[in-house]
Amino acid sequence: MNLNGVFIEDTFAEAFGMKAARVVVTACDVVWARHAGVAATGFATSVIACGCEAGIEAEIDAARTPDGRPGVALLFFAVSTKELTKQIERRVGQCILTCPSSAAYAGLAEGEPLPMGKALRYFGDGFQIAKVIGGRRYWRVPVMDGEFLCEETTPMVKAVGGGNLIFVAENAAAALAASERAVAAIRRVPGIIAPFPGGVVRSGSKVGSKYKALPASTNDAYCPGLRGRPASMLTAEENCVLEVVIDGLTAEAVAAAMAAGLRAACEVAGLRRVTAGNYGGKLGQFHFKLREILEAPPCP
């Protein structure tokens, strides 16, 4: 398949089942809500070493938040319930509780409840107060600028992590431009994050390593500096490769985001082809075939 002169390989992205939760953070203005969100989703690019993958899903108008203040929606993804529970408690406690004027609320209507305010209330040292409104329990924790309001739990749902697009370009400028356009399009799809810096990763990995202690190592087949080796997947005209990784609340959201990213990236001159990372279909239960998702109608 050829899209605007860019070859789309007949391959698929192999993604994995994960656990996810959405947390809505509000504050006195969107600047402080975003400060809290950026801090809470920091060091969360890959479960390989970060414990979770997280990002700001969207900014939320004051008319759509629980307390009528501007906010941001955060998505957190982990491989297990235990790990997601730990990550949310630590990140909300260390990065949202600490942020001036902030409050934290559950962002999903249904799912397995994970402790949030239920765990963080003890910071109140006995001065915390519970409040039930509309059948939902909140904790009011005294802090030095007033109080931190935090919903007792936040729902966890099954989700999908590791959707991906690999952009192979003539040069670094074209690869980065294609990736940036893809990320901008991807972020317009609800229920999606691209967890790496700016949504883009240059250090794509393969499973395993010559060093036994490493679970993953550089994807040498796509490293221009290693071109010419028998395992290389690059031609002489292909000098830069970048990857966009996508996590989503549903497989449908990941497919829509990948399609949107693909279409946007293929408008960039100098992008030669698009491929995706997989493991032969043996590890991840979700297979997003590039040509099939492009044939689906664009996300409205």
Residue 97 belongs to a domain: yes
Q: What is the spatial distance between Cα 125 and Cα 242, in angstroms, rounded to a whole number?
A: 48
Structurally, how many domains does the chain consist of? 2
Looking at the fold, whether 180 and 139 belong to one and the same domain comes out as no
pLDDT at residue 132, rounded to an integer: 97
Q: What is the spatial distance between Cα 124 and Cα 149, in angstroms, rounded to a whole number?
A: 11
Looking at the fold, whether 94 and 81 belong to one and the same domain comes out as yes
pLDDT at residue 299, rounded to an integer: 55
Contact 52, 37 (CB under 8 A): no
Q: What is the spatial distance between Cα 52 and Cα 289, in angstroms, rounded to a whole number?
A: 26
Residue 78 belongs to a domain: yes
Angle at 272 between CA 189 and CA 4, to 5 degrees: 65
pLDDT at residue 298, rounded to an integer: 62
Looking at the fold, whether 83 and 148 belong to one and the same domain comes out as yes
Angle at 233 between CA 227 and CA 234, to 5 degrees: 55
Boundary-marking domain end, from 90, 123, 157: 157
Q: Which domain holds residue 55?
A: 17-157
**Residue 68: how many other CB atoms lie within 10 Å:** 11
Looking at the fold, whether 281 and 231 belong to one and the same domain comes out as yes
In order along its 300 residues, the chain shows pLDDT tens digits of 899 999 999 999 999 999 999 999 999 999 999 999 999 999 999 999 999 999 999 999 999 999 999 999 999 999 999 999 999 999 999 999 999 999 999 999 999 999 999 999 999 999 999 999 999 999 999 999 999 999 999 999 999 999 999 999 999 999 999 999 999 999 999 999 999 999 999 999 998 999 999 999 999 999 999 998 999 999 999 999 999 999 999 999 999 999 999 999 999 999 999 999 998 888 899 999 999 999 876 655
- Write the CATH number for 136: 3.30.70.520
Looking at the fold, whether 91 and 149 belong to one and the same domain comes out as yes
Closest CA to 85 of 153, 137, 149, 143: 153
pLDDT at residue 133, rounded to an integer: 94
Q: What is the spatial distance between Cα 293 and Cα 300, in angstroms, rounded to a whole number?
A: 15
Which residues lie below 8 Å from residue 72, measured CB to CB, with a gap of 6+? 24, 25, 30, 33, 34, 36, 37, 56, 57, 58, 59, 60
Looking at the fold, whether 223 and 195 belong to one and the same domain comes out as yes
What SS3 state is found at 137? strand
Residue 300 belongs to a domain: no
The residue length of the chain stands at: 300
pLDDT at residue 241, rounded to an integer: 98
Amino acid (one-letter) located at 244: V
Boundary-marking domain end, from 137, 157, 177: 157
pLDDT at residue 275, rounded to an integer: 98
Residue 124 belongs to a domain: yes
Looking at the fold, whether 248 and 229 belong to one and the same domain comes out as yes
Looking at the fold, whether 7 and 104 belong to one and the same domain comes out as no
Q: What is the spatial distance between Cα 93 and Cα 115, in angstroms, rounded to a whole number?
A: 12
